[in-house]
Structure 1
Amino acid sequence: MKKITYLFLILAAFGIAGCKKDYLDLQPTVTQNTTNFYKTTAQFKQAVNGAYAPLQGLYNGTFWALGEMRSDNTSYEYDPYDQSGTNKMEIDEFRELNNNDMVAAFFESGYTDIGRCNVILGRLPAANLPAAAADTIAGQALFLRAFNYFNLVRMFGDIPLVLTEVQSVGDAYKIATKTAAANIYTSIIADAQAAVTKLPVSYPSAADKGRVTKGTAETMLAEVYMTQKKFDLAIPLLRAVIASNVYRLNADYADNFDITKKNGPESIFEIQYQEGNNGLGSDFVDTFIPWDYYDNDITGYYIGNNAQNGWNIPTQDLINAYEDGDNRKDASLVDFTSDEYGFDLPFIKKYVSKSAVQGVTANDFPVYRYADVYLMLAECLNEQGFAGGDAFKYLNLVRERAGLEDKSIGNADPALDVSNQAAFRDAIAHERQVELAFENHRWFDLLRTGKAKDVMTAHAVREKAFKKDYWTINSAAYSNIRLLFQYPLNEGNLEH
């Protein structure tokens, strides 16, 4: 009976019994008959919108825990009155088991999205759509499939590789077999390369704001190559994004997170949300605000004491990483002194906005920003050989926007002097930590650069020393700094 239950879930996840939520056009959910659907451009556009939809739940619900709280950037505020958030504390302290529902939800969301993309790509050739429309649809589905696999392989390592529509129980059993991570990366690269050739540089209609573009695919593919230490292959992709002249840095860093300026000139890809009782809102401010923040000046409504609040709280390590005069700090954090504990407890400002209904704000979540492209290119150039020049140029463009002085070789200020390749690596790591704070990059950056164990081991010492004065830390906290999450129990059962 257990296997039958899991098979039903995985069949549903891969689209055998799926509805299509119009993610970008924000239309009502529609159930279609698969025998008369997937025929027209409009139907395939609706199906593609349905492939974007799981990303809303992923970023609302689990990604910030696995991608940011797992790192030294954020932690949690202990709530002695409500212990129903134990699953999140376990992730933060590297003590989650293979039945952790947050981890399982991340895994399931990824494969739900992959399944929808497989249906689109499998049925598209028979539809005989106009070439331009078919390319745009295929490009989006290829990107989304690659994006989900890229997130999953970095989190779990060896995972199932499924590239066709699941149509039977027998197919469901077959897809439960893990594939080596190297082969997953091969598939990711193939999909991303194809997406680059098919996606438009931009969309003529404002209604298509938020869809992935050629630049989105180039940025992701560059990050994939960087993860594989293939910096020479990443450089032309990043230069192509810059040469497209589609993107530019916002003059004001805070504009990247202003709900009145969404999908702005710096946005390469962001998860779209809409305020209202339509199931399309974001709830970041509710989740990331301390549970003992009792004023309503931030949210517009009273924050109650429950397990919904107090997560993804900035750590002292991150706060210390900001240089004096860095204007990103005030744009990223709200100062707060805990009513319960009395110590400073800043919380994330990037996703703060007032809304009429609790838990349904319009704050988008950035995935790729143009500043990220500059920092990735600077890193790649340095890895090809420390020589100054463009590497410093792109690093300092990001610093200048933050109100900081340039770093350079032989600078009279020791804090600004970067004299060798290793020092430049440190400068890039620091800049990425503060520039992209709370955007789910930090844990992946630590993994990619091989610094995760060392950084998190040192971080653990400081965290435990700080927290012991306020609450009891589980004895197993940080005892095993794992680089991969445990494979979800339910999925593992399908292999047997």
Structure 2
Amino acid sequence: MSKYIYITFITILGFSGCKNYLNVEPEVNQNGANYFKTKDQFIKAVNGAYAPLQDLFNGQFWEMGEMRSDNTSYQLNNQDNSGTLRQEIDEFREINLSDEVRSFFQSNYTGIGRCNVILTRLPKAVLNDIKATDMISGQASFLRAYYYFNLVRMFGDVPLVLEEVTSKDQAIKINQRKPAADLYTVIIADASLAIDKLPEVYADSLKGRAAKGAARILLADVFLTLHKYDLAVQQLRPLLTSVYRLNSNYADNFDTKKKNGPESIFEIQYMEGPNSLNSILADRFVPWDSPDGLITGFPIDHDAGNGWNIPTQDFLDAYEPGDLRRAVSVGEDYISDATGKMVPYVKKYTSPHAVRAISGNNFPVYRYSNVLLMLAECLNELGNSGEAVQYLNQVRTRAGLPQFSNTNSSDVRKAILQERRMEFAFENQRWFDLLRTGTAVAVMTAHAVKERQIKSYLSQGTYNNIRLLYQYPQREINLQ
């Protein structure tokens, strides 16, 4: 793992050194005027463009991409209900003043801003290293495409900023929202450029960076979202003969000793230790009233910081008998003293670590199993259900499940969506799957009925408006 992948770029414009009051422009001072000159400086800038991903996946992404769906909810905390903003996202009650939604919006644009600086400054620099230049521009293009893909799926029309912003007037001018179609055009162009520029693989010391396979699957995901199945297939097929493959053991995908393994195409990098580069999800997803040390090995706060992204009964009931992924994904060994009932919790991001709430579990964004199931979905929609089932069954076999033999396209479609639900549980895929397949309203309406039956404490208005897009942050509206 490259140490650089963890370095946070201090500001969009550059680094600031220590100030020497005896020198008006000290040589050690690095700023927007004298930075972005060398390969090393650009590499550090690219590392900074990755940095917002760590905050996104530690925080708002699982709230808005997983807990929004029928997969997870929250454990009611009668002692500390200060986490109501997260509850509102789960229950479709959040408003456009939501801090969680605003933070998601801003974090993605922070990443975009850093990519824009790199892509604006790189053509003006003379690095004399074509390979390094391609790697830098490819990573920045990939990241900008991914950040915009997050935004357009969550909000629809958003501002489209493709250059470095250097003034307040410029910032105000580019704050107007653009049609989603315009954003997708840029996303496709950026991902395509990344495919051309990025290497197939990196040396072990550089693993964690986006390679060509990451750009291919991102572009395939975009085409799948747009229902351009034939174009998605063109990007997915080369990955079948690439360096990626399924791990024989599903659990290896989440083992901190096997990070960035053969199934990993792109994952968010975390480092254990008190370095602000760690994952906090083990604590977030533990039942808030569980005894200290029972699940994570350490005391927990027993407050609004715990008890989130709790698997729903709806989700647990969806498992087929014998599914080997269940024991890896879900903990079902805790009985609440308060209710006398089992409270499930997410296990994927729980691993031994030395300090409380500071673990090193990476977060998977794209795995090779996603290639197989995306390809199966595309082929089925293109009328080739027979071949689609072959890829579906590769994933089912690894999970210990019997082969799916029905080739009726409608049944295959349902089977693929179901398989994606279990394979990518708690990996922030479910809400996007429901959106893409046009099933979000129907699925969440049925889910709401089940939730109301078992949760007498739900607030009035819960699930009354199954919105497909999040409300545009009020702060951004005020700036227009």
- 1:248-267 pair list within 5 angstroms: 248-267=245-264
CA distance in 1, matches of 2:16, 2:269: 19
Report if the CA contact (8 A) 2:254-2:348 is conserved: yes
SS of the counterpart of 1:59?
A: helix
Aligned to 2:409: 421
Deviations 1:79-100 (A, max 9, x none): 0111110000000000000000
Would you say how many aligned residue pairs link Structure 1 and Structure 2? Answer: 460
Give the match for residue 463 of structure 1: 451
Indicate if the aligned counterparts of 1:300 and 1:356 stay in contact, CA closer than 8 A. Answer: no
Measured against aligned partners, the alpha-carbon deviations of 1:255-308 in whole angstroms (never above 9, x if no partner) come to: 100101111100000000011111100000000001011141432211231111
Q: Is the 8 A contact 2:63 2:86 kept in 1?
A: yes
**Alpha-carbon distance, 1:175 to partner:** 1.8
Which residue of structure 1 aligns with residue 388 of structure 2? Answer: 391
CA distance in 2, matches of 1:165, 1:57: 22
Checking the alignment, whether the CA contact within 8 Å between 2:350 and 2:361 is kept in structure 1 is yes
Which segment is superposed worse, 52-61 or 336-345?
Answer: 336-345
CA contact (8 A) 1:14 1:115 kept: no
| 2-structure distance, mates of 1:451, 1:249 | 28
Which of residues 36, 59, 66 is equivalent to 2:57? 59
Match of 2:40 among 42, 48, 71: 42
Residues 13 and 117, structure 2, Cα contact 8 Å, conserved in 1: no
CA contact (8 A) 1:386 1:420 kept: no
1:442 is matched with 430
What residue number does 2:24 align with? none
The answer as to 2:400 corresponding to 1:403 is yes
Report SS of the residue matched to 1:361.
coil
1:480 equivalent in alignment to 2:465: yes
Residue from 280, 283, 286 that aligns with 1:286: 283
Q: CA deviation at 1:13?
A: 11
In the TM superposition, 1:242-391 aligns within 5 A as: 242-244=240-242, 246-335=243-332, 336-388=334-386, 390-391=387-388
1:338 and 1:459 mapped to 2: Cα distance? 24
Aligned residue for 1:368, secondary structure, equals: strand
1:224 paired with 2:222, answer yes
| Contact 2:323–2:399 (CA under 8 A) maintained in structure 1 | yes
CA contact (8 A) 1:136 1:199 kept: yes
SS at match of 1:124: helix
TM-fit CA distance, 1:31: 8.1
Q: Which amino acid aligns with 1:479?
A: N
Q: C-alpha separation between the residues in 2 aligned to 1:262 and 1:125?
A: 34
Q: Once the two structures are superposed, what CA deviation does each residue of 1:115-166 show, in whole Å capped at 9, x if it has no partner?
A: 0000000000111221111000000000000000000000000000000000
Q: Any stretches of 5+ residues in structure 2 without a counterpart? A: 1-8, 18-27
CA distance in 2, matches of 1:375, 1:95: 32
Q: Counterparts in 2 of 1:35-114, with a 5 A limit?
A: 35-114=33-112
Structural mapping, 1:200-215, within 5 Å:
200-203=199-202, 205-215=203-213
- Note closer, same or farther for the CA distance 1:341–1:379 as it changes in structure 2 (3 Å cut): same
**Structure 1 counterpart of 2:470, which letter?**
F
1:69 and 1:92 in contact (8 A); partners too: yes
Aligned mate of 1:490, from 472, 475, 478? 475
Closer/same/farther in 2, CA of residues 375 and 19 from structure 1, 3 Å limit = farther
Once the two structures are overlaid, the 10-residue window that deviates more, 332-341 or 369-378, is: 332-341
TM-score (structure 1 length as normaliser): 0.91
Q: 1:275 to 1:387 in 2, by over 3 A?
A: closer
> Using the alignment, how far apart are the partners of 2:34 and 2:374 within structure 1?
45
Following the alignment from structure 2 to structure 1, what is the Cα–Cα distance between the partners of residues 236 and 407? 25
- Offset of residue 353 of structure 1: 1.3
Q: How do 1:82-231 and structure 2 match up within 5 A?
A: 82-129=80-127, 130-203=129-202, 205-231=203-229
Does the 8 A contact of 1:13 with 1:112 survive in 2?
no
The one-letter amino acid paired with 2:473 is: P
Aligned pair in 2 of structure 1 residues 14, 485: CA closer, same or farther (>3 Å)?
farther
Letter in structure 1 aligned against 2:461: A
Rate the CA distance shift 1:19–1:89 in 2: closer, same or farther, 3 A: farther
- 1:27 match: none
Separation in 1 of the partners of 2:391 and 2:407? Answer: 17
* 1:422-472: CA deviation from partner (whole Å, max 9, x where unpaired): 11100000000000000000000000000000000000000111111xxx1
Does the CA-based 8 Å contact 2:293-2:299 persist in structure 1? yes
Compared with structure 1, are the counterparts of its residues 337 and 19 closer, same or farther at alpha carbon in structure 2 (3 Å cutoff)?
Answer: farther
**Gap runs ≥5 in structure 1:** 1-11, 21-29, 409-417
Residue 3 of structure 1 is matched in structure 2 by none
Indicate the larger mover: 293-302 or 371-380.
293-302
Q: Partner letter of residue 194 of structure 1?
A: L
1:337-376 alpha-carbon deviations (Å, 9 max, x no partner): 2222222211001000132222210011000000011000
Letter in 2 for 1:339: D
1:111, CA displacement in angstroms? 0.2
The equivalent of 1:26 in structure 2 is none
Query: Which residue is equivalent to 1:454?
Result: 442
Letter in 1 for 2:123: P
Provide the C-alpha distance between the structure 2 equivalents of 1:491 and 1:446, rounded to a whole number of angstroms.
27
Root-mean-square deviation (CA), in Å? 1.6
Q: Aligned partners of 1:121 and 1:37: how far apart in 2?
A: 14
1:253: Cα distance to partner? 0.2
Q: How has the CA–CA distance of structure 1 residues 72 and 31 changed in structure 2, closer, same or farther, with 3 Å as cutoff?
A: farther
Contact 2:385 2:412 in 1 (8 A): no
Which piece of structure 1 moves more, 301-310 or 439-448? 301-310
